[in-house]
Structure 1
Amino acid sequence: MFKLNLKIALRNLWRNWGITSINIGGLAIALAAFILVTMYFTFETGFDKSNPNYNEIYVIGRTLPDFKTNTTSPPLGKTIKAELPEVVSVGIMKMSYFEFPVTSKNGVVFLSKCLYLDYDAAKMFNIKPSGGLLRPEDSGQNLFYLSNENYKTLFPDNKSGKPEMIGIGSKSSGITGRISGSIYADPHSNIAFDAISVVKEMGVGENYGYNNYNTYIQVKPGTDINALEAKVNTIYKREMLKAGEDPNNKDFKATRTFLDPLKNQHLRPKAGTDANYKILMALSVLGILILVIACINFTNLSIAQAAKRAKEVGVKKVMGAYRFQLSIQFLTEILIQCFVATILGLIIAEIILPKFNNLFTVNLSIWTANSALFWQLPLILIFITLIAGVYPAMVLSGFKPALVLKGNFQTSKQSYWLRNGLLVFQFSIAVIFITGLLIINSQLKYMRTEDVGFKPEQVVYIKNLTIFGSPSKFDPVRDRIAKIPGVKSVTVANTVPDGSDGGKNRYTVDGKEQSLTFTDVGFDYFETLNIKLKEGRTFSRQFKTDTANSAILNEAAVARYGLTDPIGKTIRGCQNKEYKIVGVIKDFKTLGFEKPVEPTIYSINDPCGNPKTEIMLKIEESRMSEVLSTLKSQWPEINKLDGDNFRYQFLDEMYGRLFKKQEQLQSVFFAAALLTIFIAILGLFAFAKYITTGKIKEIAVRKILGASNLQIFKLINSSFFIMVLIANIISWPLAYILTKKWLDTFAYRIDLPILPFMMSAGLTILLTIVTVSIQANGAVKANPVDALKYE
C-alpha cells in the first residue's frame, strides 16, 4: 500500500509541478531561516551548560538605591561559607580589562581579559589547565596560564603545555614572568578570558569597602534559594554594621543582596542589560512566524487544489478506500514535499551561514558532530508535515462520492473562509515586519544623525600601559605628542566615552548624598572631545587648585542634587575629600541612546578613582595618516613602557559599536520582511491563478456582454484588495504596540511616526494588485469562445 501511495504521490506532484515548486520553494526558504534561528537559539541558551555544577551556581549581587551590581567584597564570601551549611563552595574572582602585551621569541599577544580567581572558583567552573588544576601552596604563589590559542602563538613548538618564560610589556622594558602552562578558554561560557591567574585566596587584607570582586556560590541540590537569599542579606547587613556603616543611613537601609543563577548571566542578568535576551526572543518569534506563514501558504494552496482531486477521491471511495487510507496518501504527498524542502532549506542555510555568523559574531556550523540540529531536524520535519498537511488531508479525504462524481463539487464555506483568513494572516505578519523595519530604520537614522553632545570624529584613542597619576607625569608625553604637526590637542583619562560604565562613588552637596559616576581626566579633556560648557569654566593650567580639588559636574548631576547655582559650591567625595565646583558641562551621551546620561563628576585628582591610562588626541583630518605614522615611529621614545607596541583605535568606531544590537535587529527585520512578502506573494500568485481559473467562464460571459478589460481586472482584484486592506487594519494596532515597546527601551528616541504604517499599507496593496493582475492577464486576454465551447 505504501508503495502505491508513493507512486500516486510522485505522479500527482509531477503533474502539478507549478504548485509543487511554489510549495517546496516557499517552505525551503522559510526552513532555511528557521534552521539558522534554531542553531542560534541553541547556542545562546547553551552557555556554561557543560559545567557539571550549572544548576547550583549563583552569583551574589547587590541592589543599591540607583543601580544593581554583581560586585561584592571578599570577606562576604568567606563569612557565608563559614556560616551557611547549604553553601557547598564559595569562589571569588576579578576580571582585569587592562590590556597588556606578553612576548616570546616567536611573537607577541595582547591580553585584554585576564581573569584572577581563587582555587575554589576555578574548581567550581571546571577550569582545567594543562597538567591539571593545582592548588597554590601559599598566598604569594600565582599560577598563571595562557589560553591555548595564545600559548600556541607564543610557543608553537611546545606541545605539552609546560611552563615557559615570557616578557611583559615592550621588549625593551626587561620585565619577565613565568606562565605555568596553557588552558582551554571555552567560548561558550560566561567566564571568558585570554589568560587566568589562580591564587590561593582573593582579596587578602581587603575589607567591606572593596566592592570590586565577583562572588559565586555553589549550593546543595534542592536548596530553597529564596530562604538562602534572605540569610545572605542578613549576613551582609550584619557585617556592614560591624564595619562601621551607619544603621540610620537611608541608602544602607535600601541596599539588599540577591542571588542570580549562572544560567541567567548571559541573557538576563539581574545586574545588567537583557538586550541579548530581547534580540534572541525577537529572532525566535520571527523564525517561527516565517515558518508558520510558509505552512499557511502550503495549506492554502493544497485546499485551493482540492477541486482537481475531487473525482479521484470519489472513485477511490466507491472502490472501497477508507478515509484513513486517503488521509495517509495525502499526508505522504505532503511529507515528500516537506522532505525535499528540508534538504533545500539545509543547502540555503549553508549558503547564508557565513553572513549570519558575521552579523551575530558567532561561529555556528551545521555539520559539527555535536550539533543539536541532527535531532531537531526530524522533529521540525514532522512538525511542518502535520501543521501544513493535516487539514488539507482531512478536507481532501472527506469528499462525498455521490456529489463529486456528478460534477457537483464545491469547497465548503468553512474552507472558503479558512483560505481567505489564512491569506489575511499572512499579509498581517508581512505588514508588521514592514512597519517594524521602517520604524527601526527611522530610529537608527535618528541615532546616527542626532547630536550626542561630543565629537568623536578625528579623535584617536591610543592604548597605553603607563599610569599617569598626576599631570606632571603626563606632561612630558603630552608635550612630545603635541609637537607633531597635525595634532590639535592631547588628553588622558581613566575611561573612554565608548559606552563603558564608569565607577560610582557617593558624593555630598549641601548635606544631600547621591551616587555619581566619577571620571578622572587630564587637562584639555573637554576640548579634545569638543564637549560644550554650560556655565563656569573647564580645567586650566592657570589655576593651580585644579590639580588638587576642583571638580566639574554635568547637567544630570546638577539636576540630581537640585542645584540652582552650583558654581563655587563644595562637593565631598571618597575619603571625605572636598572639591570646589568650577564648571558645569552639557550632558553628552557616553552610554549611547538606550541609557540616560549618568550624573557624573569630573576631576583631575580623585583618591578613589581608577588609574588614568587612556590617551586621546584630536588630529586634523587631512593629516591623520601622517600623524599616526609619525607616532608609530616615535612611540618607543615618547612612551618607553609601551615601546614598539603602538596600537590605536578611532573613537567614532568604538562609539559606533553601541548601535550594533539595533543594526542586527534592523538586518533581521529586513530579511524577515523580504521573506514574508516573498512567501505571501508566492501564495497569492498561485491563489490568484486558482480563482482566475474558476472564473474563466464568468469572465468570458462578461466580455461577450461588453465588459472592458479594466472592469474585469477590477472584478478579480476586488476581493484580494479587501483582504489585504483587512490585513493592514488588523496589523496596525499590533505593529503599534510592538514598535512602541521597542522604542520605550531607548532613553532617547523618535516619536512614533504614522508614515511607516501608511507606507506598509501602500506597498502591500500595490504588490497585491500587480501580482493578481499579472496572473489574471492571461484569462482577460483569452478568446471567450475557447472558454465557453463545450466540445
Structure 2
Amino acid sequence: MFRLNLKIALRNLWKNRGITAINVGGLAIALAAFILIAMYFSYETSFDKQNPNYNNIYVVGRIYPEFKTNYTSPPFAKAIKQNFPEVENAGITKKGFFELTIKNGKQTLFAKNFMQADYNAAKILDLKPTGGLEKPAGEADRLSYLSKESMQVLFPDKIDNKPEMVGMGASSLGINSKINGTIINNPHSNVTFDGISIGNEIGQGEDYGMNNYTTYIQVKPGTDVENLEQKITNLYRSELLKGETDQESIDEIKKISTFLDPLSNLHLKPKAGNDTPYKILIALSILGILILIIACINFTNLSIAQATKRAKEVGVKKVMGAFRFQLTTQFLVEILVQCFTATILALILAELILPKFNNLFQVNLSIWQIDNDLLWQLPLILLSITLIAGLYPALVLSGFKPALVLKGNFSTSKQSTWLRNGLLVFQFSIAVIFIIGLFIINSQLKYMRSQDLGFTANQVVYIKNLTLFNKPAKFEPVRDKILKIPGVRLATVATDVPNGAENGSNGYTVNGLQANIDFVDVDFDYFETLHIKLKDGRFFSPSFKTDTANAAVINESAVAKFGLKNPVGQTIRGCNMDYKIVGVAKDFKAQGFESAIQPTIYAIKNPCGNYKTQIMLKIEGNKMADALIALRAKWPEINPKDGEDFRYEFLDELYGKLFKKQEQLQSVFFAAALLTIFIAILGLFAFAKYITNGRIKEIAVRKILGASDIQIFKLINSSFFRMVLLANVISWPVAYILTKMWLETFAYRIDLSVLPFIASAAITILLTLFTVSIQAKKAVKANPVDALKYE
C-alpha cells in the first residue's frame, strides 16, 4: 500500500511539476533565510553560556538621577564581599585606555585591549590561561598573558607555553616585560581582550571617586537578587557618606542607587547601555518567522487550489474502503516529501549565502558544526512546516464526499475559498509591512548621513598614542613639530574623540543647582580642529593665561540643564574647584543619533579627569597622503614614546561605525522585502493560473457573447486587485506602529510621512496586475472553440 501511495504521490507531483516547483522553491528560499536567522539568533543569545556560573554572575552598576553606568570604584567589590554572605565572590576588571605596543624583535603586536583583572574576577569570569589559573605570589605581583592569536603574532614558531620577555612601547625606550603564557580568549564572550594582566588586587590606593572599573559578583544559587540589590545600594550610600558633612552633598548621595545586571544581559540589552542590538535581533527573528509563514501560506493556498484535481482519486479510494485517516496520512506524506526536498535545497542555499551573511554581521557561523543547534532544530522545523502547511489541505482532500465527486459536480467549499483569499491577503500584508519598513529605514539612514552633526569629521586624523599630555606645556612642543609638516593645519589632544563612546561624568554646581554632566578634557584648538561652532563667548586661547588654570566651555545642553540665561562669566563648580565659563559651544552629536546630546563641560585643567591621549589633526585634503607619509617618518622625533609605531584612523570612518547596526538592518529588510514579494508573487502567479484555468469556459462564453479583451482583463484582475488593496489597508496601521516604535529608539529622527505607505500600495498593486495579467492574457487570446468543443 505504501509503495502504491508513493507512486501516486510522485506521479501527481510530476504531473503538476510547475506548481510543485513553485511550492518547493518558495519554501526552500524561505527556509534558507530562516536557517541563517535561527543560527544568528542562537549565536547572539549564547554569549558567555559556557561559564559554569552563568546564571549567578552579575555586574554591579550605579544609577544617578540623569544616567546609569556600569563603572564603579575599586573598594566597592571588597566591601560587597565582606558585608553580604550570599555573595560568594566579587572582583573587578579594568579595560586598557591605550593601544599597547608589544614587540619581539621585528614582530610587533598592537594590543587594542590589554585588560587588567584581579584574581577573584578571573575566577568569576572563568578565565583559563594555558596550564590553569594561578594566584599571583605577592600583593603587587602581576601575571600577564596574551591571547593565542596575539602570541602567534609575536612568536609565530612558538610551540611551548614557557614565559617570554617582550618589549613594551617604542624600541628606543628599552622597556621590557614578562609574558607568562597564553590564555583562552573566547570570542563568544562579553569579556574579550588581546592580553590580560591578573593581580591579587588592582586599583590599590584608589577611592570611591575613581569610577573606572567594572565590578562582577557571583551570588549563591537561590539568592533574592532584588533584596541584595537594595542592600548593596544602602552599602554604597553609607560608604559615600563616610566623613561627609555638607548637607547638599548628603542629599545628592541619597539619590544615588545601584543595580545588578545579569551576565546574560550584557551582550544584547545591558541596563546601562544601548539595547539596539537586542531590538535588531528581535526584528530579525520576527522577519525570519514571517518569511517562513508566507512560504507556508503559499503551500497551503496552492494545495487547496489543487484539491479539485484530486477529488475523483479520493472518491474512488473511499468507495474501495479507504478510511479518512489513511487518506490524510497519504497526503501528509506527499507534503512531507516536498518539505524534505525544500529543506535539502534550503541547506544548499544557506551554505551559498553564508559567507555574505557572515561578512554583513561580522560573525563566523558555520552550518556543519557538531555543536550547531540546527542538528535538532531542523527536524522540528521540518515536522512543524509539514503540519502547518499540510494538515489543513490534507483534511480538505480526505474529507471529499464520494457521491458528489464521482457525479462530477464537485466544487471546493466557500470556506476553502474564503481561506484561500484570506491567506493571500495575509501574505501581501506582510510584504507591504516589509516594503514600508524598508522605505522608512532608508529615509532614516539618509537623514543620519546628511544631517549636520555639529562638527566636521572629514579630513580629521585620529593618531593613537601612549604619551599622557594632561598639561598643555607637555603637548606644546609636540604640536609645534606636527604643525611644521606641510598640509597639517591644526593639532590638538583630548581625553575623548567624537566616535560614539561615552564621556566621563561628574557632579557640577551652578548658582546652587547641582547636576551630573559629562566632561571632556581638551587642549587648545580642540573646537577649531573639529570645526565646532561657537554660540557665545570664546573658545580657549593661549592668549589668556587663565585658560589653563580655571576656564571652561560648556555646550548648549549644559546651559539648558542649569537654566542659565547669561552663562559667559558665571562660575561652575566641580571637582573641588571653581571654573569660569568663557564660552558656549553649539551642541554636536558626539554619541550619534540614538542618544541625546549630553550636557558637557570642556576644560583644559581637570583634577578629576582622565588622561589626554587622543591626538587629532586637521589636514588639508589634497595634501593628506604626503602629510601622513611625513608624519610616519618623523614620528620617532615628534613623539619618542611611540617611536616607530605610528598608527592612525580617519575620524569620519570611526564615526561611521555608529551606523553599522542600522545598515545591517537596512540590508536585512531589503533582502526580506525582496523575498516576501518574490514568494508572494510566486504564489499569486500559480494561484492566478489555477483561477484562470478554472474559468476558461466562462471566459470563452463571455467572448462569444461579445465581451472585449479589456473587459475580460478587468474581470480576472478585479478580485485580486481588491485583495491586495485590502492587504494594504490592513497592514498600514501595523506598519505605522512598528516603524514608529523603531524610530523612537533614535533621539534624532525623521517624521513619518505618507509617501512610504502610498509607494507600498503602488508597488504591490502594479506587481499584482502585471502577474495576473500574464495569466489572463493566455485565456483572453485562447480560441473559445477549444474550451467549448466538448460541451
1:166 aligns to what SS in structure 2? Answer: strand
* 1:43-74 residue CA offsets vs partner (Å, 9 max, x unmatched): 00000100000011111111111111112222
Q: Secondary structure at the match of 2:371?
A: coil
Aligned 8 A contact 2:493 2:613 in 1:
yes
Check the 8 A contact 2:241/2:253 in 1, yes or no.
Answer: no
Amino acid at match of 1:429: I
1:65–1:251 contact (8 Å) kept in structure 2: no
- Aligned pairs (5 A) from 1:666-745: 666-745=666-745
Larger displacement relative to structure 2 (389-398 or 149-158): 149-158
Which residue pairs with 1:147 in the alignment?
147
- Whether the aligned pair in 1 keeps the contact of 2:240 and 2:253 (CA below 8 Å) is no
Alignment of 1:218-617 (within 5 A): 218-244=218-244, 249-574=250-575, 576-617=576-617
- Cα distance change of structure 1 residues 598 and 245 upon mapping to structure 2, 3 Å threshold: farther
1:208/1:243 contact within 8 Å kept: no
How much does 1:449 deviate? 0.6
Is the 1:520–1:602 contact (alpha carbons within 8 Å) kept by the matching residues of 2? Answer: yes
CA deviation string 1:685-718 (max 9, x = no partner): 0000010001000100111111111110000000
Change (3 A) 1:416 1:60: same
**Structure 1 residue 206: Cα displacement:** 2.3
1:648 aligns with 2:648: yes
Structure 1 residue 186 displacement after superposition: 0.2
Aligned to 1:60: 60
Task: State the distance in 2 between where 1:49 and 1:247 align.
Answer: 46
1:368-392: CA deviation from partner (whole Å, max 9, x where unpaired): 2211111111111111111111001
Aligned CA-pair RMSD = 1.1
Question: d(CA) in 1 for partners of 2:279 and 2:745?
Answer: 10
Matched, 1:86 2:86: yes
Q: Does structure 2 retain, via aligned residues, the 8 Å contact 1:247–1:253?
A: no
Q: Which amino acid aligns with 1:22?
A: I
Quick one: which amino acid aligns to residue 443 of structure 1?
Answer: Q
Corresponding residue pairs, total: 790
Checking the alignment, whether the CA contact within 8 Å between 1:167 and 1:176 is kept in structure 2 is yes
Do the aligned partners of residues 179 and 788 (structure 1) sit closer, same or farther apart at CA in structure 2, a change above 3 Å counting? same
The question of whether the paired residues in 1 share the 8 Å contact of 2:462 and 2:648 is answered with yes
Choose 647-656 or 157-166, whichever is displaced more: 157-166
3-state SS, counterpart of residue 138 of structure 2: coil
| Cα contact 1:91–1:119 (8 A) shared by 2 | yes
Q: Cα 1:462–1:44, aligned 2, differ >3 Å: closer, same or farther?
A: same
In structure 1, distance between residues paired with 2:91 and 2:380 = 41
Which shifted more, 77-86 or 109-118? 77-86
Deviates more, 1:398-407 or 1:240-249: 240-249
- CA 11–389 in structure 1, closer or farther in 2 if over 3 Å, else same: same
Q: Contact 1:91/1:216 (CA < 8 Å) preserved in 2? A: yes
Offset of residue 245 of structure 1: 6.9
| CA shift for structure 1 position 118 | 1.1
Q: CA deviation at 1:97?
A: 3.4
SS at match of 2:165: strand
Q: CA deviation at 1:79?
A: 2.0
**CA shift at 1:247, angstroms?**
6.4
SS class of match (1:607): coil
The structural deviation recorded for 1:106 is: 5.0
Counterpart CA distance in 2 for 1:477 and 1:763 is: 60
Deviations 1:596-619 (A, max 9, x none): 111011111111111111111111
1:243 Cα shift? Answer: 4.8
Cα distance, 1:247–1:400 mapped onto 2, change above 3 Å: farther
| Partner Cα distance (2:741, 2:752) in 1 | 11
Task: Give the whole-Å Cα distance in 2 for the aligned partners of 1:39 and 1:72.
Answer: 35
Is 1:747 aligned to 2:751, yes or no?
A: no
Shift of 1:259: 1.2
Secondary structure of the residue that 2:95 maps to in structure 1?
Answer: strand
Could you tell me which residue of structure 2 aligns to residue 619 of structure 1? 619
Stretch of structure 1 that moved more, 682-691 or 523-532: 523-532
Equivalence for 1:205: 205
8 Å contact kept, 1:25–1:341: yes
Quick check: 233-242 or 491-500, which moved more?
A: 233-242
Q: Please give the alpha-carbon distance, in whole angstroms, between the structure 1 residues aligned to 2:417 and 2:702.
A: 24
TM superposition shift of 1:548: 1.1
**More deviation, 182-191/114-123:** 114-123
Q: CA deviation at 1:159?
A: 1.4
TM-aligned CA deviation for residue 157 of structure 1 = 2.3
Separation in 2, partners of 1:232, 1:526: 41
Q: Distance in 2 between matches of 1:3 and 1:183?
A: 59
Contact 1:5/1:332 (<8 A) preserved: no
Quote the residue 1:171 is aligned against.
171
Counterpart-to-counterpart distance in 1, 2:419 and 2:124: 56
SS class of match (1:235): helix
Question: Unaligned 5+ residue runs, structure 2?
Answer: none
Instruction: Return the offset for 1:10.
Output: 1.3
Q: Please give the TM-score of this superposition, normalised by the length of structure 1.
A: 0.99
Shift of 1:75: 2.1
**Corresponding residue number in structure 1 for 2:28:** 28
Query: Sequence identity, in percent?
Result: 68
Once the two structures are TM-superposed, the CA of residue 246 in structure 1 deviates from its matched residue by 5.2
SS of aligned partner of 1:96: coil
Say if 1:106 and 1:153, in contact at 8 Å, map to a contact too.
no
CA contact (8 A) 1:241 1:247 kept: no
Q: Distance in 1 between matches of 2:647 and 2:467?
A: 14
Spell out, residue by residue over 1:533-570, the C-alpha distance to the aligned partner (whole angstroms, 9 max, x if none): 01101111111111111110100000100000011111
Of 215-224 and 721-730, deviating more is 215-224
Does the 8 Å contact 2:118/2:202 carry over to 1?
Answer: yes
TM-score, with structure 2 as normaliser:
0.99
1:636 lines up with 2:632 in the alignment:
no
Quick one: which amino acid aligns to residue 359 of structure 2? N
Query: Aligned AA for 1:64?
Result: Y
Check whether the contact 1:553–1:581 (CA below 8 A) recurs between aligned residues.
yes
Q: Is the 8 A contact 1:491 1:528 kept in 2?
A: yes
Runs of 4+ more than 4 Å apart: 245-248
Using the alignment, how far apart are the partners of 2:494 and 2:734 within structure 1?
47
- The code of the aligned residue for 2:397 comes to L
Q: Tell me the secondary structure at the aligned position of residue 653 of structure 2.
A: helix
Q: Which residue does 1:10 correspond to in 2?
A: 10
Q: CA deviation at 1:114?
A: 1.6
* Cα distance in 2 for residues equivalent to 1:29 and 1:246: 68
Query: CA offsets per residue over residues 612-635 of structure 1, 9 Å max, x none?
Result: 111111111111111111111111
Instruction: Give, as a single letter, the amino acid of the residue that structure 2 aligns with 1:234.
Output: N
1:242, distance to aligned residue in structure 2 (A): 2.1
Are residue 71 (structure 1) and residue 71 (structure 2) matched?
A: yes
For residue 173 of structure 2, give the secondary structure of its aligned residue in structure 1: coil
Hey, what's the Cα distance between the residues in 1 that align with 2:49 and 2:140? 33
The CA distance in 2 between the partners of 1:632 and 1:62, in whole Å, is 42
